[in-house]
Amino acid sequence: MSSRRTVSLITLGCARNEVDSEELAARLEAAGWRLSDDDPDVIVVNTCGFIDSAKKESIDTLLAAADSGAKVVAAGCLAERYGKELAEALPEATVISFDDYAEIGDRLDDVLAGRPLRPHTPRDRRRLLPITPVDRSAARARIPGHGARADEPLPEGVAPASGPRTLRKRLTGGPVAPIKLASGCDRRCAFCAIPAFRGAYVSRPPEDLIAEARWLAEQGVKEIVLVSENSTSYGKDLGDLRALERLLPKLAATEGIERVRVNYLQPAELRPSLIEMLTSTPGVAPYFDLSFQHASGPLLRRMRRFGDARRFLDLLERIRERAPEAGIRSNFIVGFPGETEEDFAELKGFLEEARLDVIGVFGYSDEEGTEAYGFPDKLDQDTIDERVAELSALADELMAQRAEERIGTELEILIEEDLGDGGYEGRAAHQGPEVDGTVTVQGGSGLRPGQIVQAVAVGSEGVDLVARVKAGT
């Protein structure tokens, strides 16, 4: 076996996967592996398995990694969801489960030595945890991104001997980093397979999150983004339905942290006290990443979802009454089984009224193991593609209009990159990382990444803004 023992980590998909990869990186270093993209012995691909396009990207990445000559390991959601089936279809890669993460160093030793690993048979991970949420804290299921379990021996040099543990190594720089607030989901949306392979909902203890925020601040992070499958459920398994409201001020008060952002909010669970906290707490971004999915009431009920256009518009009005400048984004599924022309027209009408900052549009695709997989009334692919194109064009127009509305407003911008020639790129409080627009900042000098500046929006280009630093900043 090679004495180098070098490994490269490739992360696909969402910010939740990014956190999982950084936990894997910490465990690998503790096990004596060296992280390097330069001719590694093993390439670990942390895959995404959410929708067809993500699955294809994951497969293509695994095949490209195999072409490098390195040993290849498939981890993450695609690997967990398909297990043995993926291993049989893709003999170029060794497939591992979430249950292998705690011993990832040993597993890679096996791969490098040519010792065969038996791929797992996929199972519904919701069954690994008690049905009653408050009984889950004592369960022993492996949950990626949650660090070491209380009964798990600590990797040497990674975490303190007692107290909250930060089992993580940053793989990217920059002043922004995600923190996994919780994992899993208890909802039963008809189109979504995530709960089956990510498991039931489990919140991380507040003290762990606060310790991780402090650790990230020591790494130079200025903005933390709380991620999960459903952030509005945080605390229900801890016996405190308002745990998020209690947590946010503590995170915002962390020395070195300038901004806290919350992603993945369920409209059905967005209680008034949480709206108030998100719109009035210093250091917490007035930002609402709302999972609407559609606007037709009958279709939403078929999706096993809450709401309709009128309820959603009322919710947006309540948010903007408290914070007119709040950033609001959402994703929408087009072509769900049974979607009529009237349903589609209602969705378009809703978007024209909603004034959302960012609109994500996805065409429906069948996902094995979901309720919708067996639904009748499937739309043909040409119809789905036509509706996606039509709604995407409308969304682009509406997002550009919303950006124009912000011209003349004051922005609090986190500088992320020096573009040279006196220009900088950053994000305002209403813009989430990666998925939303950015701000090109002009008129400053000597600004640095991680600095927050006050500026005025002076122009827009699509969803992006141009701003000029206020005098005296």
Residue ranges at the known binding site for [4Fe-4S] cluster:
14, 48, 77, 185, 189, 192
> Could you give the 3-state DSSP secondary structure of residue 412?
strand
Binding site as annotated, residues:
14, 48, 77, 185, 189, 192
Task: Write the CB contacts of 249 (distance below 8 Å, at least 6 apart in sequence).
Answer: 277, 281, 284
How far is 12 from 62, CA to CA, in rounded Å?
A: 11
Sign of the C-alpha dihedral, residues 333, 334, 339, 340?
Answer: positive
Name the helix (H) or strand (E) containing 23: helix 15-30
User: Which residue has 């397979």 as its token pair?
Assistant: 193
Which of 444, 26, 220, 15 minimizes the C-alpha distance to 7?
26
Which of 209, 244, 193 minimizes the C-alpha distance to 365?
193
Which of 83, 108, 111 minimizes the C-alpha distance to 97?
83
Q: Apex CA 315: angle with CA 309 and CA 320, to 5°? A: 125
Amino acid at 77: C
Query: How far does the chain reach from its first CA to its final CA, in angstroms?
Result: 57
Which of 467, 450, 465 minimizes the C-alpha distance to 224?
450
DSSP labels for 230-290? -GGGTTTTTT-TTHHHHHHHHHHTSTT--EEEE--B-GGG--HHHHHHHHHSTTB--EEEE
Going by their DSSP bridges, the two strands 410-420 and 423-428 should be labelled as antiparallel
Query: φ and ψ at 7, to 5 degrees?
Result: -140, 140
Which of 74, 29, 17 minimizes the C-alpha distance to 167?
29
Whether 235 and 271 have beta carbons less than 8 Å apart is answered as no
Per-residue burial over 257-271, b = 16 or more CB atoms within 10 Å of its CB, e = otherwise: bbbbbbbbbbbebbe
Distances (CA, A) of 203 to 229, 345, 381, 438: 11, 38, 38, 31
Distances (CA, A) of 119 to 79, 87, 266, 329: 9, 7, 35, 39
Find the largest Cα–Cα distance for the chain: 64
